[in-house]
Amino acid sequence: MTPPSRVDQVIPAIVEHDAVSNHTFEAQRILRDMGFASEIYARIIGPGCEGRVRPLEELPARESRGQWLLYQSSIGSPAADVFARHPSAKLLDYHNITPAPLVERWLPPLADETRLGRAQLKALAPLVRFAFADSAFNAAELDDAGYTRTRVVPVLVDSGNIESLPDAAVLARLEGAKSRGGADWLFVGQIAPHKAQHDIVKAFACYRRAYDPDARLHLVGREMGSAYIGAVRRFVDDLGLRGSVELTGSVPTAELAAYFTVADVFVCCSDHEGFCAPVVEAMHRGVPVVAYAAAALPETIGRGGVLLPSKSPTLVAAAVNEVLAASDLRDELVAAGARQAARYTLDAARAAFRAAIDEALSLP
């Protein structure tokens, strides 16, 4: 097959402060560095991304000479149909699709989109020349969907985000609270039912009751729909925790850095994660991780954090206490986290992405 002169990307939606969107921008930089022309075409373009991304309608229906298309798959979308119909050679990058039952109760339209996404993933299998997956967990799902040639390429985490200095004003506010005592728990991710922030709140309530009545919990991330975040807010209020649980919404990179700076522990109770980039950022920034061992989390965390077999709130609270009560243990865990995070540096992920593109090019 003739090598391509351009590799364009198609993505259902692109927004700021989103792991898959950041990955897509980074992939574009690598493709251009490799000498390919490369544009991103998105069906939905969020604020802040205009000018860097072209509307999907502008994707020429005919193949430009030597054009390949790379589809970023994470949800059902008409963009997948446009990709399927296009005559170009096809690559697919799979970031996982949340199983519908985890969101059905809260967001029935989203559940429909996830079901559509999984159906589209299967339908695309015979059309796709080569597929990438964020994790071995995701690669196994690609195998199940009928993909025969896959390679694991970790999420391309923007080093600008990870190395960002903390916002001074937010840091001063958080450090002010810290100086009055109490541990800071952190979780970063969309406020969404499958990320189960309500289970973190339950564990946090147990922790305050058993060990540290001054502890604070910061839940950073934009909401997915209004119902789930509404329930989490009501739950927090009902438990009398309004003053100690903060739901920040989406925050700029420097503010996020401030939350990581003050965090004593990163707690994750997600039922489903295809990779979980914030966990890598926590390990990179020296925040010990305590997580429920679900989906791709055991793979992403490896030996770099505490993986719990259940998310019973008492067990999560006890595990956080074990980590925070003994400073030598905490230090060992932070060192283990740093070793694990080193596997996901941008350089390592870039090399894996380049190797995957080279492998796709070498196929007959």
Partner 1 sequence: MVDADALVRDASREAERLRASGVITEQFERELDERFEAAAVRALRVPAIAERSARLRAIARRVVPPAARPAARVAARAGDRLLRAAYSVVESAARRG
Q: Which residues bind partner 1 (CB under 8 A)?
A: 105-106, 198, 201-202, 205-206, 209-210, 225-228, 230-232, 234-235, 238-239, 303, 305-309, 312-315, 317-319, 321-323, 329, 332-333, 335-336
Task: Return the number of the residue (86 or 202) whose C-beta is nearest partner 1.
Answer: 202
Give least dist CB 275 to partner 1, A. Answer: 20
In angstroms, rounded to a whole number, what is the distance separating the alpha carbons of residues 294 and 46? 30
Closest to partner 1 by CB, 105 or 149? 105
Q: Which helix (H) or strand (E) holds 220?
A: strand 216-220
Question: Roughly how many angstroms between the first and final C-alpha of the chain, as a whole number?
Answer: 6
Neighbours of 210 (CB within 10 A): 12
Closer residue to partner 1 in complex, CB, 42/290: 290
CB of 55 to partner 1, least distance (A): 27
Residue number with CB closer to partner 1 (155 or 205): 205
Q: How far is the CB of 230 from partner 1 (least distance, A)?
A: 4
CA angle 31–32–35, rounded 5-degree value: 95
**CA distance to 117, 262, 289, 304, per residue, from 206 (Å):** 38, 21, 18, 25
Give me the residue label for tokens 């350089």.
347
Nearer residue to partner 1 within complex by CB, 31 or 236: 236
Strand partners of residue 282? none
Smallest distance from partner 1 to CB 236, Å: 9
CB of 320 closer than 8 Å to CB of 338: no
Instruction: Give the nearer residue to partner 1 in terms of CB position, either 5 or 226.
Output: 226
CA distance 181 to 177: 7
Q: How far is the CB of 333 from partner 1 (least distance, A)?
A: 5
Instruction: Give the shortest CB-324-to-partner 1 separation in angstroms.
Output: 12
